Structure 1
Amino acid sequence: MRLFDTHCHFDFDVFSDDFVSHLQLAHEQGVERIMIPSIGPSNWDKLLAMSAEHAGIYTALGMHPYFLSGDSFFCFADLKKQVDAHINHLQAIGECGLDAMVDVDHEIQRQVFNAQIALASDHQLPLILHSRKTHNEVLQLLKKHKFSFGGVLHGFSGSYQQAMQFVELGFYIGVGGVITYPRAQKTRKTVFDLPLENIVLETDAPDMPLMGYQGKPNHPAMLVHILSCLANLREMDEQTIAQITWENANQAFKICE
């Protein structure tokens, strides 16, 4: 069984004590490929170095809405330089998007997100989207740019109708630990109804702990439990889901199998 964690912040300090051991633990659970999206200028260089050093580690450069500030738009020139310089080593732009739940000026979020959509279009790269309570606005901006290179809507929590609007724009839906919580009925129903061909798996480690693991750092090795939960929800065998979501993830990021 080959698994692809399409969203994991494997560069965070919680994994830095013995990164090779953490990577080996993920491999032992079948996680062969891991996408590490950036949060902003603070970790661009580190992610590029990690992806160059370790097979199966892929990266995206971008500016996460949670970490923006008043001068973030002026940092965009630095992002463009990094992308231009490392275009052959990148699989996407992101993590980027909008978040209505953080104390960051919304107009700054819009400006920086708009710029990243345009940057992804210019380089024909997919986007890794972050959207909390902003699905309609994110969709509006993607359509305004006529963005056509797809990507992944990370950490999806919403309705089937919302998910399919992103699918229609070429995006895959990132399914993670939320589905392990029985109370997340709307998301679990959406994941049950969505075509499997539109789903990819993710952990968002060290965040988004699974049911029963609250208070502990999440880990890419936990992806196998998300797979198991999805198989139970859809009443399908794990191997079939693993194969389809593996293919989906590679297609989303234009990675040769």
Structure 2
Amino acid sequence: MLIDAHCHLDFPAFDADRDAVFERASSAGVGHFVIPGTIRARWDAVLGVGRRHDVSVCLGLHPYFMESHRDSDLDALAQALDDNPQVVAVGECGIDARFPETLEAQWKLFDAQLRLAKARKLPVVIHCVQANDKVAKRLRQLALPVGGLIHAFAGSPEQAGRFLELGFVVGLGGAVTFERAKRLHRAVGSLPDDGYVLETDSPDMPLAGHQGQRNEPAALVQVCRAVAALRSQSPECVAANSAANARRLFRL
């Protein structure tokens, strides 16, 4: 069974056909889905989808949506984590260095969420764009007890290795299907079997040849095949390793 370790099936992009999306994924062999939170206003939607038996959820404050966050959201997140013991991780949180105008605020928000996760011994789901080295340094300083997921990893083998040393796994998605992603391909080939999970980031992160289209979890099968080719392993082996890693990380 495949597990989509990161997909936003609560997003409005799926409102018209969410059940059909789940059915297509199930038919393709995707049997479980991990849905992260992004903004406080969407946590109820995430928790709502999480009532399904095949869905696990995370709650967090995403750095891409800084204009949506308020100071009170951190207290609300702490309360939501305490009120919803079924939540498997804090996230999606992190750093997106494409937006330097909010970078200072991003770091404050990220650090606060890391501390919430540490206090509750929860893993973290991290969005990390153009900031792998700085994020790894901060994670090393905080020494989180249960690690987490570096979502949509696109770095080097050396950067992947540093995250793995800290108890994290890296998320592999549609980016691995692009021929030009040579550095990422080298990283994928260098990972140990327990160092990665497969994800789609649906509705985002479409596969090569599908740019501009809505992504969905059924595409995880193609991600799995691409990763298998890069690792010279069978798709069945990659699917089994990824699922085992997701179960271990999120205690599924």
Q: TM-score, normalised by structure 1?
A: 0.95
**CA–CA separation in structure 2 for the residues paired with 1:51 and 1:225:** 25
**Is residue 39–residue 95 contact of structure 1 (8 Å, CA) maintained in 2?**
yes
**Is residue 176–residue 223 contact of structure 2 (8 Å, CA) maintained in 1?**
yes
2:216 aligned with 1:219:
yes
Give the CA deviation at 1:142.
Answer: 1.5
Structure 1, unaligned stretches of length 5 or more? Answer: none
* Residue identity matched to 1:116: Q
* Residue identity matched to 2:45: K
Does the C-alpha gap of structure 1 residues 248 and 133 become closer, same or farther in structure 2, counting only changes over 3 Å? same
**Is residue 40–residue 69 contact of structure 2 (8 Å, CA) maintained in 1?**
no
2:62 aligned with 1:64:
yes
**Is residue 205–residue 215 contact of structure 2 (8 Å, CA) maintained in 1?**
yes
**Is residue 158–residue 186 contact of structure 1 (8 Å, CA) maintained in 2?**
yes
**CA–CA separation in structure 2 for the residues paired with 1:7 and 1:211:** 18
Q: Identity of aligned pairs, percent?
A: 36
Q: Report SS of the residue matched to 1:95.
A: strand
Pairs aligned (count): 252
Q: Which moved more, 1:19-28 or 1:67-76?
A: 67-76
**Is residue 65–residue 104 contact of structure 1 (8 Å, CA) maintained in 2?**
no
Does the C-alpha gap of structure 1 residues 93 and 214 become closer, same or farther in structure 2, counting only changes over 3 Å? same
Give the CA deviation at 1:240.
Answer: 1.2
Give the CA deviation at 1:140.
Answer: 2.0
Give the CA deviation at 1:69.
Answer: 3.0
Give the CA deviation at 1:74.
Answer: 3.2
Does the C-alpha gap of structure 1 residues 71 and 232 become closer, same or farther in structure 2, counting only changes over 3 Å? closer
**Is residue 73–residue 112 contact of structure 1 (8 Å, CA) maintained in 2?**
no
Q: Which portions of structure 1, spanning 4 or more consecutive aligned residues, are displaced by more than 2 angstroms?
A: 69-74
2:33 aligned with 1:55:
no
Give the CA deviation at 1:71.
Answer: 5.8
Q: Which moved more, 1:202-211 or 1:72-81?
A: 72-81
Equivalent residue number for residue 82 of structure 1: 80
**CA–CA separation in structure 2 for the residues paired with 1:19 and 1:104:** 35
Q: Report SS of the residue matched to 1:90.
A: coil
2:136 aligned with 1:139:
yes
Q: Which moved more, 1:62-71 or 1:196-205?
A: 62-71
Deviations 1:55-108 (A, max 9, x none): 11111000000111386333211111111111x210000000111012652111
**CA–CA separation in structure 2 for the residues paired with 1:71 and 1:35:** 23
**CA–CA separation in structure 1 for the residues paired with 2:17 and 2:200:** 19
* Residue identity matched to 2:42: N
Equivalent residue number for residue 91 of structure 2: 94
**Is residue 117–residue 123 contact of structure 2 (8 Å, CA) maintained in 1?**
yes
Aligned alpha-carbon RMSD (Å): 1.3
Give the CA deviation at 1:204.
Answer: 0.6
* Residue identity matched to 2:120: H
* Residue identity matched to 2:168: F
Equivalent residue number for residue 166 of structure 2: 169
1:173-212 equivalent positions in 2, closer than 5 A: 173-212=170-209
**CA–CA separation in structure 2 for the residues paired with 1:33 and 1:71:** 29
**CA–CA separation in structure 2 for the residues paired with 1:143 and 1:106:** 20
**CA–CA separation in structure 1 for the residues paired with 2:190 and 2:148:** 20
**Is residue 5–residue 246 contact of structure 2 (8 Å, CA) maintained in 1?**
yes
Q: Report SS of the residue matched to 2:25.
A: helix
**CA–CA separation in structure 1 for the residues paired with 2:87 and 2:189:** 32
Equivalent residue number for residue 239 of structure 1: 236
* Residue identity matched to 2:40: P
Q: Report SS of the residue matched to 1:9.
A: coil
**Is residue 47–residue 57 contact of structure 2 (8 Å, CA) maintained in 1?**
yes
Q: TM-score, normalised by structure 2?
A: 0.97
Equivalent residue number for residue 12 of structure 2: 13
Structure 2, unaligned stretches of length 5 or more? Answer: none
**CA–CA separation in structure 2 for the residues paired with 1:77 and 1:103:** 25
